[in-house]
Amino acid sequence: PYTGPSAGQVLAQRREFLNPGIITYYKHPIMIVQGKMQWLWDDAGKRYLDALGGIVTVSVGHCHPHVVAAAHQQNELLQHATTLYLHPNIGEFAEKLASTLPGDLKVCYFVNSGSEANDLALLMARLYTGNYDVIALRNAYHGGNAAGMGLTANSNWKFNVPHSFGVHHAQTPYSYRGVFGYDDPDAGRKYADDVKQVIDYATSGKIAAFIAESMQGVGGFVEFPAGYLQHAYGHARAAGGVCIADEVQTGFGRTGTNFWGFQNHGVVPDIVTMAKGIGNGAPLAAVVTTPKIAAMLTQKTHFNTFGGNPVVCAIGTAVLDVIAREKTQQNCLELGRHLLAGLNKLKEKHALIGDVRGQGLMVGLEFVKDRQTKEPAKEACQQVVENCRELGLLVGKGGLWGQTIRMAPPMNITKADADFILAVLDEAIGAAA
Ligand code: PMP
């Protein structure tokens, strides 16, 4: 059993010594002291099924033995020396990672977070194209540093400081709330027209990049209609831009049908950014691109002290091994279908659920006060999150108003876990309505 400081003590410490901008979930913050695969334990020994996965980050399970062993082994041998020197781990991991990507996407640059990855991707895109303007999407989240905040388009995450230099936000292809609904077979092309409009009206006509998540994460698991990315990429490339896929949440087989989220849309980007699931919780992220784009960085010196250190690269390789060995992508596909079917049944029962969506083990429920007006049910959503916690299930929130429940558990959950999620949600939503 846990014998450390109490949650109260830790909270008091946090209030005094940690920046108050660091948010906690729940009215009474939960203290997690142990994890094993899909399970988490709090200080009182209560067990939770982790359906948020450390915000779409714990890909192969908390403290997966293979990942722990790889980290441990490397920790004892060499923790850090910098990329000034050769080390086998970084090359091994880069080659393995590149083998999961199509075409010419095979040159890696390792960094420590998704925000850093997107910042670096923008730099490469601007150097390669010689252009400056960037098209991102409304309702997107790409990070909290200057570049990431600029690309992000959700007022909750944008501070009132100068940002978004050269970034223009196109309409988000949000079938549930947008102007072209699920019933419009041509919605993808129509939404993509706005990318062209923004290029024509807001830029010189030449752009550096178009960047999009392959399914919007923080925005509330918003999936793009068929054809959207194909058309958007077409417009971006016609204006001289490269296409960046932000796979921070959607990568590593989570969407089930493909290893990378962009593959679900039949496109091949020029630059792919990834983080979160790549390290199963270790601070690891990457920008992967083509040799031509990658070569732009040789114009000057570019350096990242921790990027690609031996320990995180050992972890990254171990994560890829587990994904292959345990067939987690297939599990995401099967359990994602099972969850979606169950969630759609819940929608028939609970008027609070306005929309059910997602793919693989990345599924969401958008709550509304009224299915006609679609007024976001923010308070009810928070109540469902609290109710789930009481019942032993951790879920996340998303969307501009915090109206969407997000679930992205470790990719190795079982059917029994999925059924538990559905049963808990049924009760938690019933009690919140
Ligand atoms: N891109 C996406 C799609 C994300 O969801 C996030 C994090 N929520 C980021 C980038 C930024 O990643 P990090 O927090 O590691 O900087």
Contacts of 278 (CB under 8 A, 6+ apart): 59, 97, 251, 252, 284, 285, 286, 316, 319
Strands 107-111 and 285-289: antiparallel
Distance 174 CA to ligand 1 centre (A): 20
Q: Give me 397's structure tokens.
A: 């929130």
> Is residue 150 domain-resident?
yes
**Helix, coil or strand: residue 59:** coil
Q: Is 177 near ligand 1, meaning CB less than 6 Å away?
A: no
Residue 393 pLDDT exceeds 90? yes
Q: Is 376 near ligand 1, meaning CB less than 6 Å away?
A: no
> Is residue 418 domain-resident?
yes
Q: For residue 364, which amino acid is it? A: G
Residue 262: per-residue pLDDT: 98
Residue 15: per-residue pLDDT: 95
> Which tens digit of pLDDT belongs to each residue from 281-304?
999 999 999 999 999 999 999 999
C-alpha dist (Å) from residue 56 to 31, 232, 278, 340, 382: 19, 26, 10, 17, 19
Going by C-alpha positions, the residue among 365, 373, 369 that lies closest to residue 347 is 365
Q: How confident is the model over 211-217, as a mean pLDDT?
A: 98
Helix (H) or strand (E) holding 224: none
Helix (H) or strand (E) holding 241: none
Q: Determine the length of the chain.
A: 433
Alpha helices in 203-326 (DSSP H): 228-238, 291-294, 310-325
Of 52, 55, 115, 254, the one to substitute when testing ligand 1's pocket (max ligand atoms within 8 A of C-beta) is 115
Residue 109 and residue 31 share a domain = no
Of 249, 273, 284, the one to substitute when testing ligand 1's pocket (max ligand atoms within 8 A of C-beta) is 249
How many helices (H) and strands (E) in the chain?
Answer: 13, 15
> Is residue 36 domain-resident?
yes
Q: Is 128 near ligand 1, meaning CB less than 6 Å away?
A: no
Residue 268 and residue 333 share a domain = no
Euclidean distance between CA atoms 309 and 358, whole angstroms: 34
> Is residue 196 domain-resident?
yes
Quick one: pLDDT band at residue 163, thresholds 50, 70, 90?
confident
Asked if residue 270 lies in contact with residue 237, where contact means CB atoms within 8 angstroms, the answer is no
Residue 297 and residue 170 share a domain = yes
Distance 205 CA to ligand 1 centre (A): 29
- CATH of residue 242's domain is 3.40.640.10
Residue 292: per-residue pLDDT: 98
Residue 405 and residue 310 share a domain = no
Asked if residue 38 lies in contact with residue 383, where contact means CB atoms within 8 angstroms, the answer is no
Residue 166 and residue 46 share a domain = no
Question: Of 288, 306, 325, which residue constitutes the final position of a domain?
Answer: 325
Quick one: pLDDT band at residue 164, thresholds 50, 70, 90?
confident
Q: Give me 131's structure tokens.
A: 């252009």
Euclidean distance between CA atoms 2 and 397, whole angstroms: 28
Of 52, 118, 122, 141, the one to substitute when testing ligand 1's pocket (max ligand atoms within 8 A of C-beta) is 141
Residues 168, 363, 93: CA angle, nearest 5 degrees: 75
Q: Is 119 near ligand 1, meaning CB less than 6 Å away?
A: no
> Which tens digit of pLDDT belongs to each residue from 105-133?
999 999 999 999 999 999 999 999 999 99
> Is residue 80 domain-resident?
yes
Question: Of 262, 293, 325, which residue constitutes the final position of a domain?
Answer: 325
Residues 125, 255, 428, 380, CA torsion sign: positive
Residue 334 and residue 299 share a domain = no
Residue 104: per-residue pLDDT: 97
Residue 169 and residue 205 share a domain = yes
Q: How many domains does the chain have?
A: 2
- CATH of residue 55's domain is 3.90.1150.10
Asked if residue 38 lies in contact with residue 44, where contact means CB atoms within 8 angstroms, the answer is no
Question: Of 280, 301, 325, which residue constitutes the final position of a domain?
Answer: 325
> Is residue 1 domain-resident?
no
Residue 216 and residue 71 share a domain = yes
Of 142, 149, 152, 406, the one to substitute when testing ligand 1's pocket (max ligand atoms within 8 A of C-beta) is 142
Estimate the crossing angle of helix 378-390 against helix 415-432, to 10 degrees. 130
Residue 332 pLDDT exceeds 90? yes
Asked if residue 79 lies in contact with residue 311, where contact means CB atoms within 8 angstroms, the answer is yes
Residue 316 and residue 241 share a domain = yes
| Closest ligand 1 atom, residue 116 Cα | 16
Q: Could you list the beta-strand ranges (E) of 15-89.
A: 32-36, 39-42, 47-50
Residue 310 and residue 211 share a domain = yes
Q: Is 194 near ligand 1, meaning CB less than 6 Å away?
A: no
Quick one: pLDDT band at residue 433, thresholds 50, 70, 90?
confident
Q: For residue 431, which amino acid is it? A: A
> Which tens digit of pLDDT belongs to each residue from 88-106?
999 999 999 999 999 999 9
Contacts of 354 (CB under 8 A, 6+ apart): 176, 366, 367, 368, 371, 374, 377
> Is residue 223 domain-resident?
yes
Residue 253 and residue 112 share a domain = yes
Is the whole-model pTM more than 0.95? yes
Distance 56 CA to ligand 1 centre (A): 10
Distance 55 CA to ligand 1 centre (A): 9
Euclidean distance between CA atoms 148 and 36, whole angstroms: 32
Residue 167: per-residue pLDDT: 98
Asked if residue 332 lies in contact with residue 255, where contact means CB atoms within 8 angstroms, the answer is yes
> Which tens digit of pLDDT belongs to each residue from 349-392?
999 999 999 999 999 999 999 999 999 999 999 999 999 999 99
Q: Is 270 near ligand 1, meaning CB less than 6 Å away?
A: no
Residue 294: per-residue pLDDT: 98
The ipTM is: 0.99
| Alpha-carbon torsion angle 381, 384, 388, 394, nearest 10 | 0
Asked if residue 239 lies in contact with residue 199, where contact means CB atoms within 8 angstroms, the answer is yes
Residue 137 and residue 39 share a domain = no
Q: Which domain holds residue 276?
A: 65-325
Q: HSE, CB side, 13 Å, CA atoms: give it for residue 44.
A: 7
Average pLDDT of the chain to the nearest whole number: 98
> Is residue 2 domain-resident?
no
Asked if residue 222 lies in contact with residue 216, where contact means CB atoms within 8 angstroms, the answer is yes
